[in-house]
Amino acid sequence: MFSLNGTTFTSNSLSGVSRCLTQSSRRVSAPMVVVAAVSSNGKPGDGSVSVLVENALTESAAPVEMEVNSTVTGGVQDVYGEDSATEDQSITPWTLSVASGFSLLRNPHYNKGLAFSERERDTHYLRGLLPPVVISHDLQVKKMMNSIRKYDVPLQRYMAMMDLQEMNERLFYKLLIDNVEELLPIVYTPTVGQACQKYGSIFRRPQGLFISLKEKGKIHEVLKNWPEKKIQVIVVTDGERILGLGDLGCQGMGIPVGKLSLYTALGGIRPSACLPVTIDVGTNNENLLNDEFYIGLRQRRATGQEYAELLDEFMYAVKQNYGEKVLIQFEDFANHNAFDLLAKYGTSHLVFNDDIQGTASVVLAGLMAALNLVGGTLSEHTFLFLGAGEAGTGIAELIALEMSKQTGIPLEETRKKIWMVDSKGLIVKSRMEMLQHFKRPWAHDHEPVQELVNAVKSIKPTVLIGSSGAGKTFTKEVVQAMATFNEKPIIFALSNPTSQSECTAEEAYSWSKGRAIFASGSPFAPVEYNGKVYASGQANNAYIFPGFGLGLIISGAIRVHDDMLLVASEALAEQVSQENFEKGLIYPPFSNIRKISAHIAAKVAAKAYELGLATRLPQPKDLVAYAESCMYSPAYRSYR
């Protein structure tokens, strides 16, 4: 680490080699002192000069084992360092430190706060900059949880977590991993929705890249401004459809930041390999345009060719900067763009839309698990959706694909088991000419029906799924109708945040007299009905996308295939234990999420190898163990 005009730079490792992928290494001796003349822009040359003093090597002057190159046997050459991007880089005696330790305390990647040892305080010039006590990582977690729990308002807890992430990265992730069930609703839905709504007011420091129309023509250079160069996962939004809250423009940045925090905490992707991006093309939200604290472009949304050209430049700049295997996850794009972007770039980039594909996979997993409680196969059930947007149609398509896979029946036939209601009523063939292209496969022969409750009574579904973004639409009459012809009606109210949920857990259980199998997008507290406690499931995408992304990365996949989504669903459903079923749960507890993610990653990676889409060769024999070994750990590391 060295300092130039107040800016801190750190060299973790000269090799940057993945510990999972190293094929060879050689011995090199460690130098004792490094002196460099560096210009103010970080390049060799004239300008301010800093003396770089290496960490003291008082223990031994013996040669040190150093990994000096990274080559994956077979497959595509690791030109961009992608194959090592997910791996935690080793601390070596080549690490450099500044004369003053104050910069170290301001660097979230390396700061340990009061956990710096006595030796580290001497070596890194921290004496006097910290109180004398030395505490453990675990005690820091306990202290921070005690502080966070004192906040009554969820948004205050969110801000406290974001402040911690900017101050001490490893403590943030250990806190989140150790308390995932309590903190997941804080760092992501539903609280992240509130954070996005007020992002302009609470914005303090950048946590990702903002690419606006002002950067058109120079996105390649803008990407180079991001300090990390080995990027493996990008989550990008244009802010037009944030959760169920609508167009939040530039303030949608909270979504990529939150998603990538979960990629690290739940999926083990190294934080520095993650890049949050917001594409700012304006907003049609009048409240934001008139808000003096709004941080985005104050103009109406760009559409058509102007929008397409900006996105196209972004997609190819990403590939040029980070390579073929960087995963680009589209998040919270409006329907009219979400489907088009996935179709356009699915054949040329490694892309994944969590709203379409991630939601579909987690819901399919819940349905497969629910069959253990209601019996039958998927093809023996009838499905009715409220909401025919990207989430609803994405779920429906994956269900139809799984039914086709299980039965051998053509996809066109399995789709007939699935019905949809949109804002104009039941989707039927008489409406075909007026339907958007992604709704047309779900138009069946039936007389028009306007109201949901009448559609329920007519279709008599065994499964009711809400993805409408409209709260309180599963009324008492709707739930009771489901319960009249189903002993155990399956009801999924998936819309986020909590305020937009189609019904609450309490409503589902009380109106069905305790017979419903219920899951929601946002969490609900356990419900007591007639002396029995019901713990509802949460169909949270966080079950799927971290492990799914990890599986793509460890296999070096170059494209996403529908079969990968199916095996991810199957892998998640397999993790629901008999004990969970006895409690009425159709999803496993989040306390085991990292093991679940490793299991999903292994199945996804295996499918990538089977389909010939993997580039990391040879295939590891035990993919679960391999996935676990590659996962980022937030444990502190000793600095010499």
Binding residues for a divalent metal cation: 331-332, 355
The yes-or-no answer on residue 188 being catalytic is yes
Rounded to an integer, what distance in angstroms lies between the CA atom of residue 559 and that of residue 348? 8
**Rounded to 5 degrees, what are φ and ψ at 205?**
-150, 150
What does residue 6 show for φ and ψ, rounded to 5 degrees? 90, -5
Distance, in Å, from the CA atom of 1 to the CA atom of 462, rounded to the nearest integer, reads: 61
* 309: its two tokens: 């050209």
Whole-number Å distance between alpha carbons of 61 and 535? 59
Cβ pair 538, 326 in contact under 8 A? no
Neighbours of 531 (CB within 10 A): 6
- Please state whether beta strands 7-9 and 34-36 pair in parallel, antiparallel, or not at all (unpaired): unpaired
Instruction: Put residue 218 in one of left, alpha, beta given phi > 0 → left and psi -120 to 50 → alpha.
Output: alpha
Write down the residue that tokens 């910069």 correspond to.
103
| Distance in angstroms (rounded) separating the CA atoms of residues 378 and 357 | 19
Residue closest to 412 by CA, chosen among 421, 402, 400: 400
Q: CB neighbours of 443 closer than 8 A, spacing ≥ 6?
A: 427, 428, 429, 431, 432, 435
Catalytic residue among 230, 259, 603, 607: 259
Q: Are 26 and 64 in contact (CB under 8 A)?
A: no
Distance of CA 261 to the CA centre of its chain: 7
Amino acid at 551: G
Catalytic site residue from 110, 158, 173, 188:
188
Q: In this structure, is the dihedral angle defined by the CA atoms of residues 236, 242, 244 and 246, taken in order, positive or negative?
A: negative
Cα distances (angstroms) measured from residue 157 to each of 94, 100, 153, 168, 206: 38, 32, 7, 16, 19
Both tokens of residue 168? 């001490």
User: For the CA atoms of the chain, what is the radius of gyration?
Assistant: 26
Q: Edge-to-edge strand order for the sheet containing 34-36?
A: 34-36, 50-54, 96-97
Q: Which residues are annotated as a binding site?
A: 241, 331-332, 355, 496, 540
Nearest to 559 by CA among 616, 627, 608: 608
Rounded to whole angstroms, the Cα distance separating 620 from 597 reads 17
Specify whether the CB–CB gap between 68 and 28 falls below 8 A.
Answer: yes
Q: Is 385 helix (H, G, I), strand (E, B) or coil?
A: strand
Q: Is the bond into 190 cis (omega within 30 degrees of 0)?
A: yes
Return the structure tokens found at 19: 């510990």
For 385, what's the count of Cα atoms within 13 Å in the CB-facing half-sphere? 31
Indicate the Cα dihedral angle 429, 430, 436, 438, nearest 10°: -10
Question: Distance (Å, rounded) from C-alpha 381 to C-alpha 482?
Answer: 13
Q: What is the torsion angle, in degrees rounded to the nearest 10, for the CA atoms of residue 88, residue 92, residue 94 and residue 96?
A: 70
SS3 492: strand
Known binding positions for (S)-malate:
241, 496, 540
259 is catalytic: yes
Residues noted as catalytic = 188, 259
